[in-house]
Structure 1
């Protein structure tokens, strides 16, 4: 696989105090299987769909109490130079929380926040180039910045990454899409109380594809997860926002069940 252009989503992972519980939950909901834990890298454990790497889970760092773990999915955006991207993050009002840090021969990483507190990762690929499967059942398919501070995100992300910005011309929602080389790669939605309750931070919602959205939601709730909104029909597929039993929010979408006309996108 060729290395992805800067700003393209390339990987996702999450930290879980209960690794066995996370494996059981995502194995049932998304059909994932899991590889061997890498003790050299903090027991980082890759998830697979049809034998292809789609995400990873990791336990807390040694000495970190489980009750202090706030599980959340982290989306990584590709960078050809993680150190340069880190400087752009700082120079545009963001915060570098970790890195740049080499991860063996696999690549280099940065964990950062935008000015509105949205956490994301940066990944400069080495031998690990990212998702081996996308846009199909059990794999990553889309992500969007959910934020109460859209102006902060709109100013920050296109300054750090080579994004062209288009807005969805619906008159109903404040939604923009960041493009790389004319390819839509990341959404940005202004959050109201329905999308983001007062106690929840601004964040990036990561969507995984499923064969049946309603069936996936049923599995989520049966296994102790939460339904935040949906299932809902859209021109992109039937989708829902959910959370796992350890508090990590994510989306599920059935790409084969699209309803309605595609929205018009206009240059921002």
Structure 2
């Protein structure tokens, strides 16, 4: 049970949820992942730290009333200079949506979209260095952008974060992995004709669980829904689910994964 002190710049260091029902989400995710919670003040939209065994695992906050965006999980890349990365996002065809801005003494953040429309964040750490636990049941284990143009998306993230894209041979699927030296930062999946047209490009957060099928049953018991039935891959068994407020995430019981340790 190691504790991560700092993530490799250019890899995903944090995930968080915006939800219309924070109290309900605490009960739902606490039951699914075994998290404990530290709820923040109202002026920070009750931003809550979700911990696993005393280590930061994720965040969540109450979605502002009247917000135009849906309830969703967001991913944040570790960045050493948020302002410089904002310029790189613009120069590479992306758009800045929020920031860069200071978040008290925790760090600096920005929210952006890539040229294909997928939204992501950048976190320049100060006192808050991101997730302290990954790859254990109840913590983040993988991240991928699902997009209508996987080559354009991969090129963008490589330019902005200094990553290397490698094609993964998966029958019937166009998939690339993104690498930062010996670390794996995530994946890029081509959304093909089987994806409903109404689903926009987006980042998907994966969480490790000990038993995918048991976790699906718990999700459904608590009012969530299974969107993609559990299936086996060379890297483990997984399923896409949504919480009771519509935020999608993937449950995964891993058999193996590319090394993406960030310590």
TM-score (norm 1): 0.90
In structure 2, the partner of 1:133 is 133
Is the 2:63–2:71 Cα contact (8 Å) retained in structure 1?
no
List alignment gaps of at least 5 residues for structure 1: 264-268
Rounded to whole Å, the distance in 1 between the matches of 2:11 and 2:152 is: 20
Shift, 1:106, TM fit: 0.5
In structure 1, the partner of 2:228 is 229
Shift, 1:42, TM fit: 2.4
Structure 1 residue runs of 4+, over 3 Å off?
none
Secondary structure of 1:25's counterpart equals helix
List alignment gaps of at least 5 residues for structure 2: 259-263
Q: How many residues align?
A: 255
Shift, 1:77, TM fit: 0.2
Is the 1:6–1:162 Cα contact (8 Å) retained in structure 2?
no
Secondary structure of 2:250's counterpart equals strand
Rounded to whole Å, the distance in 2 between the matches of 1:176 and 1:50 is: 33
Secondary structure of 1:89's counterpart equals helix
- What per-residue deviation string (whole Å, max 9, x for no partner) do you get for residues 12-68 of structure 1? 11111111111111112112221132334221111111221111111123xx337x4
Q: CA RMSD for the aligned pairs? A: 1.7
Q: How does 1:177-196 map to 2 (within 5 A)?
A: 177-194=177-194, 196=195
Shift, 1:171, TM fit: 4.2
Q: Choose from 46, 52, 55 the match for 2:55.
A: 52
Q: Does 1:43 align with 2:46?
A: yes
Q: Choose from 9, 32, 35 the match for 2:12.
A: 9
Is the 1:94–1:113 Cα contact (8 Å) retained in structure 2?
yes
In structure 2, the partner of 1:65 is 66
Is the 1:96–1:112 Cα contact (8 Å) retained in structure 2?
yes
More strand by share: 2
In structure 2, the partner of 1:102 is 102
Rounded to whole Å, the distance in 1 between the matches of 2:225 and 2:175 is: 25
Rounded to whole Å, the distance in 2 between the matches of 1:247 and 1:36 is: 22
Is the 1:34–1:45 Cα contact (8 Å) retained in structure 2?
yes
Is the 2:40–2:48 Cα contact (8 Å) retained in structure 1?
yes
In structure 2, the partner of 1:143 is 143
In structure 1, the partner of 2:261 is none
Q: Identify which range, 231-240 or 185-194, moves more after superposition.
A: 185-194
In structure 1, the partner of 2:203 is 204
Q: Does 1:23 align with 2:55?
A: no
Rounded to whole Å, the distance in 1 between the matches of 2:151 and 2:162 is: 17
Secondary structure of 1:174's counterpart equals strand
